[in-house]
Structure 1
Amino acid sequence: MDTRIEQRVGIRATADHLWDILVDFPHWSRWNTHETEVEGQLAFGGAFSLTETWPDMAPRKVEARVTEWQPLAQLIWVEKRGWLFTTVRYFEIEELDKGSCILATGMLFQGLRAELFMDRHRKSIRHGLTDMCDRLKALAES
């Protein structure tokens, strides 16, 4: 069964500006304290790694692959968690007007143990995604 958690926020900034912040992997710590030490190749199938530190969860090294990216619009990577489940992590930018966007970020868990994992960690991940959106909004609008 698939389960999803998503956070959306309106940001007064251009899609260009948000995209520049999003793909500046070495400086994610300016707005993302939950996914750090980000390294990756922005290319289809590109290797992607980071350390996840969600509230009330131990830090965990993530090795993933970029599965989709479209400049100014989306960045998606997939992490296999053994044979039990897969995590799809995404950022999507929707420009409403020049200088006004909606940012959506979330995680989609797929597979045998996905629902159990989400039931256990939903609150922590939701809190982390909300914090991440608030920080990104503040940085992009400053």
Structure 2
Amino acid sequence: MSTEKNLVRSLSVEIAAPAELVWSILVDLPSYPQWNPYTVKVESSLRLGEPVNLFLPDPTRPGELLHVVEHLADFEPHRLLAWEMIASADNPDAARREQIIEPTGPRSCRYQTTDQFLGPTADQVMANHGPWVKQGFDAVALALKAHAEALHGTSA
């Protein structure tokens, strides 16, 4: 990402599990409800340019889900999974979410996720939703760490 403006960045977590395992968790979309507290359901073919249907707990209506449609923008195994929302006539909001895995050794890696709000509504989206997205992304990073380490047998 080229700028910090309107950028939400999760905690960077050190995971005591191989990058390959963490990647396998991120692309196992049907299993998201088992570990992901923020993006509780994802539906996608994981083919570049195709839709990614995201379902998130609605912060304004407890018990209900927000449905957001983005498109797969990057798919670099064991390193980067990204989707983005392109502004349209119906919806001026635009954003790019990246989930980044950085190997730190044969049995460890670092994970972080970011969301860059773009387009004409970026400042407003950041002001209205940035703190909620940050809280959700931090929860995802911590949950991914716990889930990967439990699967790898290295949880504390």
Structure 1 and Structure 2 fold alike (TM over 0.5): yes
1:60 alignment counterpart: 66
1:106 alignment counterpart: 114
Return the match for 1:119 from 83, 108, 127: 127
Contact 2:87–2:119 (CA<8 Å) still a contact in 1?
A: no
Return the match for 1:69 from 62, 69, 75: 75
Return the match for 2:23 from 12, 15, 19: 19
Gaps of 5+ in 1: none
In the alignment, does 2:101 pair up with 1:93? yes
In the alignment, does 2:14 pair up with 1:10? yes
Equivalent position SS for 2:86:
strand
Deviations 1:70-108 (A, max 9, x none): 111111111235452211111110001111111011211
| Deviation (angstroms), 1:53 | 2.1
| Deviation (angstroms), 1:30 | 2.0
1:78 alignment counterpart: 84
| Deviation (angstroms), 1:46 | 2.2
Equivalent position SS for 2:17:
coil
TM-score by length of 1: 0.90
| Deviation (angstroms), 1:57 | 4.0
Equivalent position SS for 2:40:
strand
In 1, Cα distance between equivalents of 2:122 and 2:116: 9
| Deviation (angstroms), 1:52 | 2.1
Deviations 1:15-44 (A, max 9, x none): 110011000000011221211221101121
Equivalent position SS for 1:35:
coil
1:38 alignment counterpart: 42
Gaps of 5+ in 2: 151-156
TM-score by length of 2: 0.83
CA RMSD across the alignment: 1.7
Q: 1 or 2, which has the higher strand percentage?
A: 1
| Deviation (angstroms), 1:48 | 1.2
In 2, Cα distance between equivalents of 1:82 and 1:57: 24
| Deviation (angstroms), 1:69 | 0.5
Moved segments of 4+, more than 6 Å? none
- Across the two proteins, how many residue pairs are aligned to each other? 141
- The code of the aligned residue for 1:98 comes to P
